[in-house]
Amino acid sequence: DGGITQSPKYLFRKEGQNVTLSCEQNLNHDAMYWYRQDPGQGLRLIYYSQIVNDFQKGDIAEGYSVSREKKESFPLTVTSAQKNPTAFYLCASSTGHRGETQYFGPGTRLLVL
């Protein structure tokens, strides 16, 4: 059954701690994306990757880091430099071609203790 999985569903972060959100896809897509969702602000692009071993900053990359060592995986690390990390994080993938649909995972809700 093809799709995108994100784990965990809920994640709690303590002050000064780095946490990593997992995103895996088995759609054989080249492009993967991370969005942050806050109430009333829609989805904002954090990082994106069009191909393995390459990624670019989106609109709100500060305090986040990513890696793309495998085609199917695009983990997002929320570092201690991100002062307001509480949000819903969504991972997506697509072929990367113009106009192609982006498919989304179920999301991870990050909360600060």
Partner 1 sequence: AQSVTQLDSQVPVFEEAPVELRCNYSSSVSVYLFWYVQYPNQGLQLLLKYLSGSTLVKGINGFEAEFNKSQTSFHLRKPSVHISDTAEYFCAVWDTGRRALTFGSGTRLQVQP
Q: Using CB under 8 A as the criterion, which residues of the chain lie in contact with partner 1 when the complex forms?
A: 4, 6, 31, 33, 35, 40-45, 48, 50, 56, 58, 88, 90, 92, 96, 98-99, 101-107, 109
User: Would you mind telling me the total number of residues written for the chain in this entry?
Assistant: 113
- Min. distance of Cβ 16 from partner 1 in angstroms? 28
CB of 35 or CB of 85, closer to partner 1: 35
**Toward partner 1, which CB reaches closer, 16 or 40?**
40
Q: Which is nearer to partner 1, 2 or 16 (CB)?
A: 2
8 A C-beta contact, residue 23 and residue 66: no
Please, are residues 72 and 5 in contact by the beta-carbon 8 Å criterion? no
Instruction: Count the Cβ atoms, other than its own, within 10 Å of residue 49.
Output: 21
* β-bridge mates for residue 100, sequence order: none
Pull the structure tokens for residue 12. Answer: 């709690």
CB of 88 to partner 1, least distance (A): 8
